[in-house]
Structure 1
Amino acid sequence: MTSETERKAPLSRGICMGWGLGTLGPVTVLTASNVLLLRYLTDHVGIAAALASSLIAFSKLLDAFLDPTMGWLSDRTRSRMGRRRPYLLAGGVLLALSVVGLFSVPDIADYDLRAVYVGAVLVFYALAYTVFNIPYLSMPAEMTTDYHERSYIMSFRVYAVGLSTIAASVLGPMVLAALGGGSDAYAKMALVFVPLILLSAWICFRATRHAPFTAKPDSTHYPILYQVKSVASNKPFLVLIVIKFLTLMALGVQSVFAFFFTYVLKVSDVYLGQYFLCSSLAMILSQPLWLRLSRWSGSKRNTYIAALALSLPAYLSWLWAEPGQPVAFIFLRAAVIGAAGGGAILMGQSLLPDTMEYDYLRTGLRREGLFAGFYTTVEKLSGAIGIAVVGAVLGSAGYVQSMGSGVTQPQSAIDAIYWVMCFLPALISLLGIVALLFYRLTETSLKATTLLSPIAAPTTDGEDFPALPTT
């Protein structure tokens, strides 16, 4: 690894690729849980839709409040491997254990005990995701200070997100279909994911050993509540987390896809896998286009708006989907939604290190982990709400849970699935566009921000910290 003073040379492609591949593990588990877990819990574990979605939401909410603490811990870590890299290996192992637990719920006769077990495993998974993801997301801001190079780094993460989606939502449903779709099939599917999760964590750890990094944390100790207050003074970051809160709700809404393909389109999980294969390939192949559009326009914000706008007609078109519809229409929607999602993910992730750099220029402090912690908190809150909304809507519409036997759903449940599939993600995208209009941090304004010395600590016990310097 190189020191903070040796960052002027462009990052090698190997470092960027290796760092990007690190997201294979967490996003594979995240996608599998978003797309398949709710249906697994309702149709094979026998948990009611409203309760299952509430357990998922509760685990995310509980862990969300620990994310800033994890970020603060990684900021304070001292290691010859850097502040962040040790957590990559630990988080990878924990994620591998969690995916097995999520899809291998034992046949517990008592309904309440079964629900308690599911809740405990969900909390363990949420903690495992935090241990890996927060230090991981903190690394790009340390690796480069170049505005457009951050987008380049993040493009490799989006490539990996596409591969992760293929693994979880393409390979996963295909494995389920090949094994008959029972509860044992879900357990075997989870075992297929384990080597991928462990390998991606190891590759990321090894590839970033020569990456630029902050040599050591600042020696001054600031109370966590004061740091939270100072983070809140970073207006671009506040706007960003509002945007991400809105747009990341779509991840939780993804849980409706499995229901839509089964009960509306009436096709097997093979078609669900093919849909996500097409969507993921579009996400991957669209990355050069979004990078060029961002550089040509000079605005990540406007590129982000364009990506969200592209998704609107595709989401609304699901209203006309029905059994027997030509497969070409399904795959066309997949391509448009995948390409739009690729642009939204790339631009959203690229804005995060920009706000971290803005904080450093304003305060002189290197605390990327704290910002990543708050960012991930919002990610989990939005995902929890998205899944909770899906479960609540299905439950209120009379969706019937089971333990593996096929059931006929009432028309009210089918109508609810249509509503969630069409209108909810379109509304989320529209609100995200509105929120983006308030984001004004640009390459020019970053360059105009003068690097300041670290904020001064209080001189006497109990004295308030001085106000943050402004530019």
Structure 2
Amino acid sequence: MSTDARGPAAPPASPRALPRRTVAQYAIGSLGTGGFATLPGLVLTYYLTDSLGVAAILAGVIVSAAKIWDVIIDPVIGALTDRDLARHGTRRRLMLVGSLALPVLFAVTFAVPPALGPIVGAIWVLVAFLLTATAFSLFQVPYIALPAELTESYDARTTLLTWRVVVLTFAILLFGAGGPLLRTVTGDPTTGYLVMGIVAGITIGVGMLIATGAARHALATRPVMEVAGSATAAEAEFVADEIAGTSGTTTDASPSAFGSGIRANYRAAIDALRRSQPFRALLATFLLQALATGLMLAGAQYLATWVLKSEDAVTFLFVALIAPALFAAPGWGWLARRNGKERVFAVASIVFAIAALATVGAIWAPGAWIYLPVAFAGIAYAGMQSLPMAMLPDVIAHDAQRNGPGRAGAFGGVWTAGETTGFALGATALSIVLAATGYIASTAGESVTQPATALTGIVISFSVVPAALIAVSLVTLARYRLRRQDIESQQD
């Protein structure tokens, strides 16, 4: 055991087991994150083009604008939540604000009176969805940062994030299948979308609110002195001041980027990208895969309506996609504990790409057979969600060991911005394909016939393009060099 002028160094803390209550509270948050990621991506573009009469390209611009806004604000929220952690000992404040504001704003997004016309309706949706996305980011960014602070264990993080993805897949099934059904309960598209917005908004908000309880457990049992790795209370206080940006001196190793200015907040995000090669590789991989899945998500309703000839078929698509994932997520976690997260992540990605590519046959022979490759994609999707989420806390812990703690919010902000960028570009890519292939927008109740080129574009957007994006993501994943021994050596 090493010594210094202050006496013997404290022995390293052993990885802390996670109470079941903490795991459950954190996992339930994915009821909110899964709902918000699924339902707008599934129905918002379709709501604009087929209920409000907004042109496809403009609908894509609206959805993308909200996501671009996320990219702008997420790094700022990341820095703010890190400062909350240092000053108040918890990340709960922003999580609570987002949880309480989102239900109202989500309902307003789908409350457009059709009589206002396409232009006013488009502006209404744009403003309301921007505000909704802001509320969601206030919750999502600190939520993403929590796992690195809840446990130091490589395998415990896999378990924590596995259960989160179990709830996430259930949420995708619930909102993906239930949301479209809710909009039909009144028999009128206008009031149906409003009912869907109210019920879904409340459900998302409740899930988010429950998850704020997990934020208490991270710091309640991990005081600032332990988080800082400091031997004395005076040193712990100094580290807290450094994280809060209130000390008189700063160094490159200190989290001084979390100052009061917006420029400093962005610098914290850029520094996180610059310092951590594993983070850059993992983020690039996840962004490309979010683009692929976002494209499929946005195209599912169009595939159901125009290729499978039934709006209700979107429910069966989601059951086929998510029901297998509910059972597959624990299996991916078990494989990761035996073989390493990054290797199993690559396997899941390959399976997803092959399954997505198989659906291209719907161009020539649309039919119920498509649910089989979608089910295989669902099995793979569970691994594509749980494993990178379990790898992110490892990346954060690795950076903290090298450069000092207190930056998890900055990493979470960049991660959330990357994820939302991917989903936004997915919807944008779909809208471009629809516009280029001659898709005809319509208002609620209006009957149109889509050209064959538009039908082909819908299928290609659901199959060939996502498969190609996953293939590219494997190249960036190969650059991820963090392994189990790198994480476990930090605990020795």
TM-score (norm 1): 0.89
Q: Structure 1 CA distance, aligned partners of 2:84 and 2:420? A: 24
Aligned to 1:444: 485
Q: Is the 8 A contact 1:279 1:337 kept in 2?
A: yes
Q: Structure 1 CA distance, aligned partners of 2:182 and 2:270? A: 48
1:32 to 27, 39, 60: 39
Give the residue type in structure 1 aligned to 2:319: L
Q: Which runs of 5+ in 1 are unaligned?
A: 452-471
Q: Structure 2 CA distance, aligned partners of 1:182 and 1:109? A: 15
2:425 to 370, 381, 385: 385
Q: Deviations over 1:271-311 (max 9, x none)?
A: 211221232221110012101111111x2111110001111
Q: Structure 2 CA distance, aligned partners of 1:243 and 1:162? A: 20
Give the deviation of 1:316 after TM superposition.
1.5
Deviates more, 1:405-414 or 1:37-46: 405-414
Aligned to 2:240: 218
Aligned to 2:362: 321
Deviates more, 1:101-110 or 1:406-415: 101-110
1:425 to 457, 466, 482: 466
Give the deviation of 1:26 after TM superposition.
2.8
Give the deviation of 1:207 after TM superposition.
5.0
Count how many residue pairs are aligned between Structure 1 and Structure 2: 444
Work out whether 1:45 is the aligned partner of 2:52: yes
Aligned to 1:143: 150
Q: Is the 8 A contact 2:269 2:411 kept in 1?
A: no
Aligned to 1:363: 403
Aligned to 1:289: 331
Work out whether 1:245 is the aligned partner of 2:287: yes
Give the deviation of 1:183 after TM superposition.
2.3
Q: Which has the higher helix share?
A: 2
Aligned to 2:342: 301
Q: Deviations over 1:336-362 (max 9, x none)?
A: 111100001011111111110011001
Aligned to 1:157: 164
Q: Is the 8 A contact 2:101 2:135 kept in 1?
A: yes
Q: Deviations over 1:400-455 (max 9, x none)?
A: 1111112111112111111111111101111111211111101112334599xxxx
Aligned to 2:271: 230
1:336 to 359, 376, 388: 376
Q: Is the 8 A contact 1:390 1:420 kept in 2?
A: yes
Aligned to 1:275: 317
Aligned to 2:413: 373
TM-score (norm 2): 0.85
Give the deviation of 1:55 after TM superposition.
1.1
Q: Deviations over 1:105-147 (max 9, x none)?
A: 2235354332222211121122111101001111100001111
Q: Is the 8 A contact 1:278 1:334 kept in 2?
A: yes
Aligned to 1:128: 135
Aligned to 1:353: 393
Q: Is the 8 A contact 1:140 1:150 kept in 2?
A: yes
Give the residue type in structure 1 aligned to 2:442: S
Change (3 A) 1:212 1:265: same
Give the deviation of 1:93 after TM superposition.
1.7
Give the deviation of 1:324 after TM superposition.
8.2
1:266 to 302, 309, 323: 309
Give the deviation of 1:48 after TM superposition.
0.7
Q: Is the 8 A contact 2:157 2:393 kept in 1?
A: yes
Q: Is the 8 A contact 1:246 1:429 kept in 2?
A: yes
Aligned to 1:316, the other structure's residue is in SS state: helix
Q: Deviations over 1:352-406 (max 9, x none)?
A: 1111001100111221000000111111211111111100110121111111112
Q: Structure 1 CA distance, aligned partners of 2:47 and 2:182? A: 14
Q: Structure 2 CA distance, aligned partners of 1:245 and 1:153? A: 22
Q: Is the 8 A contact 2:15 2:491 kept in 1?
A: no
Q: Which runs of 5+ in 2 are unaligned?
A: 1-11, 225-238, 246-255, 258-263
Change (3 A) 1:95 1:27: farther
Aligned to 1:58: 65
1:257 to 281, 291, 300: 300
Q: Structure 1 CA distance, aligned partners of 2:489 and 2:378? A: 36
Q: Structure 1 CA distance, aligned partners of 2:26 and 2:13? A: 19
Aligned to 1:180, the other structure's residue is in SS state: coil
